[in-house]
A and B are shown apart, each in its own frame.
Chain A
Amino acid sequence: MNRSAIDLWVGIFVTIGLGAILFLGLKVGNLLTLDRTPGYRLDASFDNIGGLKARAPVKAAGVVVGRVESIRLDTKTYEAVVTLRINQDVAFSKDTIASINTSGLLGEVYVGLDAGGDTAVLMNGDRIAKTQSAVVIEKLIGQFLFDKASEGAKK
C-alpha cells in the first residue's frame, strides 16, 4: 500500500466520520432546524405549567407553529412565564388563548394556541392575556374524591 493510497483512504475515512457527526448533529439532534425559521417571541403566564419543558412544540389546531424558548418563574406573582418563539409567517390575534395540553395520556406536553376574532395581531414581545393552565391529574382526582366525600356527607 503506497503512501498516496493511504492518504486517500484516510481522507475518505475522516470525511465520512465527520459526516456522521454532522448527521448526528443535524438530522438526529436537530441543531439547525431550531433557529432556521425566523420567528418572533410571545410571553404567556400560567398558574401551573405541569410537565412543560423548554423546546416543547407550540401548536395551533394541531399544527406546530413554534417552540417553547424558555420558562421562568415570576417572583412577584409566582406565575410561570413561558416565552414562545412563533414562526414569522404565522400571526395571532390579540385575544388568542394559550393553553397547556398533553397529547394522549402519556404523550408530550405542548402549548396550544387558539386564535380569537380580534383584527389586531400580537407583535414581538407581546404578552398573551388569556391563558389556561395545565390540568394536573392528581388535583383532578383529589377534587373528584373531595366532591364524592361531600356528597356522601349530605346524604
Chain B
Amino acid sequence: MSAELATGVFSWLRRLGATVTGAIGKLGYATRFMIAVLLLTHHAFRRLHLTLREIYFAGVLSLVIILMSGLFVGMVLSLQGYEVLNRYGAGEQLGIMVALSLVRELGPVVAGLLFASRAGSAITAEIGLMKTTEQLAAMEMMAVDPVARVVAPRFWGGVISMPLLAALFSAMGIFGAYIVGVRLIGIDAGAFWGQMQAGVSFWPDVTNGIVKSLVFGFAVSLISVFEGYDAKPTAEGVSSATTRTVVISSLAILALDFVMTAFMFRGVGV
C-alpha cells in the first residue's frame, strides 16, 4: 500500500517536473527563435516583395474586419457613453471619452485581438502546413534558410501592419462615434471635436497607443511564426498550433496591455 502510494507520488512529481522543464525549454527555444528571426531581418527587407506579400495578406486583407469592427465599437461606445454622461449633463464630453478610450486602449487591444485571430492564425497554419508537407525541409536541402525565406518576411509583415491597423481602428471608431453622437443623437459638432481636441494630446495619448500597437504586433507576429514553426508535423498538430496562437496571443496582448498602461499613464491626470 505505502509502496503504491510512493510510486503514485513519484510519478506525479515526475510529470510535474517534465511539464516545468518542458515549458522552460520551449521558452528558451522561443527566445532563441526570436533572436534568429531578428538576426535575419535583412533578408525580409532585401527581398522586399516577400514582405510586401505578407503585408498584403496580414494587413490589407484584415482591413474589412478592422474597419467594420472599429465603426461598430465607436458607435456603441457613443450610445452607451452618452447615456451615462447625459445623466450629469455632460453629453458634450462624449468626444473626449470616446477618443481617449479608443486611442489609449480599445484601438490597440481590440485591433490586436482581431489581428491575432484573423492574420496570426493564418500565418501559423501556413507555416505549420509547410512544415507538415516538408517544404521547410526541402528548402533546407536547397541551402535556403527557411527562417530567412519564410519566417522573417511574415514576422516583419505583421509588425508593420499592426500599428497601421490599430490607427485605422481608432480613426474609424471616432468616425462611428461622430455618426451616432452628432448625426443621430444631435450633440453639437463643434463641442464634439472641440472637447476632443482639448482633452486628447498627441503626446502622450496617441503616441502611447502607437507604441502599444507596435508591441502587440511584435508579440502576435512572433507567437504566430513560432507556433507554426514549432507545430507537430501532423494535421492535428497544425490545428492545435493554430488554436495556441490565438489563445496565447490574446492573453499576451491583455497582459502586456496592463503592464504598459501601468507604466505609461502613471501620473497622467487620471
Contact = CB atoms under 8 A, between A and B. Distances in A.
Interface bin, chain A = 20 to 34
Contacts of B161: 13
A10 B200 contact: no
A9 B60 contact: yes
A145 interface: no
Given A23-B171, A24-B103, A29-B202, A10 B164 contact: no
B202 A10 contact: no
B168 A17 contact: yes
Contact of A29 (B52, B60, B63, B200): B200
Interface stretch (B25-33, B146-154, B190-198): B190-198
A28 B165 contact: no
Contacts of A139: none
Contact of B171 (A3, A9, A20): A20
B112 interface: no
B164 A28 contact: no
Contacts of B205: 29
Contact of A106 (B88, B163, B172, B196): B88
Nearest to B157: A10
B167 A28 contact: no
B55 A53 contact: no
B65 to A, nearest CB: 14
Interface in B183-229: 193, 196-198, 200-202, 205-206, 209-210
Contacts of B245: none
Interface in B166-183: 167-168, 170-172, 174
B90 interface: yes
Interface string A2-34: 010011011011101110110111011111010
Nearest to B165: A17
Given A30-B197, A57-B198, A24 B56 contact: no
Contact of B60 (A10, A21, A33): A10
B202 A31 contact: yes
B88 A33 contact: no
Contacts of B202: 24-25, 29-31
Given A6-B52, A28-B206, A21 B198 contact: no
B164 A13 contact: yes
Contacts of A104: 89
Contacts of B172: 20
7 contacts: A9-B56, A17-B163, A17-B165, A20-B164, A20-B167, A28-B103, A29-B206
Interface of A: 1, 3, 6-7, 9-10, 12-14, 16-18, 20-21, 23-25, 27-31, 33, 53, 55, 57, 104, 106, 108
